[in-house]
Amino acid sequence: MTGFDLPLEGLVVLDFSRVLAGPFATALLADAGADIIKVEGSAGDDYRHVGPFVGDDSAMFEFANRGKRSIVLDLKAEADRITARRLAAQADVVVENFRPGVASRLGIAYADLVGENPDLVYLSISGFGQNGVGRDRPAYDIIVQAESGLMAMTGMPDGPPTLVGEAIGDIGAGLYGAWAVTAALWQRERTGRGCHIDLAMFDALLSLLPTGACRYLATGAVPMRVGNRHPLSAPFGAYRTMDGHAVIAVLNEKLFADFAATIGQPELASDPRYRSDSLRSDNEPSLRVYVERWTGARPTGEVVRVLAAAGIPVAPISTVAQAIDSELARERGLFRQGSTVPLPEQPAHFSGSRRGRPVRAPRLGEHTHDILARLAAQEEQQ
């Protein structure tokens, strides 16, 4: 218990997952106060061995496993499998992201555990689902980025498909995983029944492509790469400035009229080529000429200052370092102290709950003795 009255305090989660998608889901639950018991083999989660490192500690492991407790169990050994099932019998939630079929072979699948714990919420994250044509395929983030259509939509029109610069397939599955667990817990609160959640990374990422999916489903047009602009709106993208680029986002007619007046071209608002968002998108190349004639004559700072003063959504393109070090990130309390590096705080602010508690990822097996002692005490009380 954290003592900070977090929303999920008292919830016990047994976490068999590793690398990123599953651990990120349980990290979000830990941020909200859940007690996460992370089960690792003797070599530890693969992410313990992936850089960047601070001393001997992986920053990626710290990110994905903040606020958890670690127990070492060899799930190929019968005695440790029995211990895992005993822990599952006392848990509210179990999370795993083995390839489909592995949990069954280890004796820790939903079907193996639900008899002892009928109200268990059990989350399985895989690349392509627990059943069907993709069931046995291994998956990493780049695989689901490729198969979801995201890579085909990303990049410059005359360039190759481009990988998004973050593990969005893993992160999206982790987000949906944490959401699905909390939804299932509310269902259990109403019905008294737990459930098995089958979550595929492919499904999660494809469901996060509303612009592309809606365009195809509504029109039959196959969305492809349009570069640093919105595929359906204009001016809505990155525009050249004297010393770099600025992002400008104009979506409705009033904003466009204000924007046109601000850049000294008020007649653009009545130009038949630009009278609606869809027309502006169709005629984006000619509109870009007018926009960059103005932005290209000014440094980014001036472009941002002038447009912001006129109420136009605008931003410079920041590096990750600039975003992390920004006044906004500090004001929002987005990071707190970890054992080796600052670690993110989940982004939602709950009234009545404090933010910013120091947190760290566990050492391998750090809590094995304590977890087993508590388990024995719980079983003795039953």
pLDDT tens figures, 346-377: 999 988 888 878 899 999 999 999 999 998 99
* Average pLDDT of the segment spanning 140-168: 94
Q: How many CB atoms lie within 10 A of CB 244?
A: 13
Q: Which domain holds residue 125?
A: 12-208+333-381
pLDDT higher than threshold 80 for residue 4: no
pLDDT of the residue at 325: 92
Q: How confident is the model at residue 2 (pLDDT cuts 50, 70, 90)?
A: very low
pLDDT of the residue at 1: 38
Cβ proximity of 201 and 126 under 8 Å: yes
Taking CA atoms, 201 is separated from 5, 30, 104, 111, 358, in Å, by 32, 21, 20, 22, 31
Tell which of 316, 344, 362 closes a domain: 316
* Average pLDDT of the segment spanning 303-330: 95
My answer on whether 187 and 147 are in the same domain is yes
Q: Which residues 6+ apart lie within 8 Å of 105 measured at CB?
A: none
CATH classification at residue 266:
3.30.1540.10
Rounded Cα distance between 273 and 181, Å, is: 49
Q: Which residues 6+ apart lie within 8 Å of 241 measured at CB?
A: 295, 296, 298, 299, 300, 303
My answer on whether 193 and 81 are in the same domain is yes
In a domain, 111, yes or no: yes
* Average pLDDT of the segment spanning 144-153: 95
- Is 230 known to be catalytic? yes
Phi-psi region of 75 (alpha: psi -120 to 50; beta: other; left: phi over 0): alpha
Q: Which one of 196, 230, 349, 369 is the catalytic residue?
A: 230
- Per-residue model confidence as pLDDT tens digits over 80-105: 999 999 999 999 999 999 999 999 99
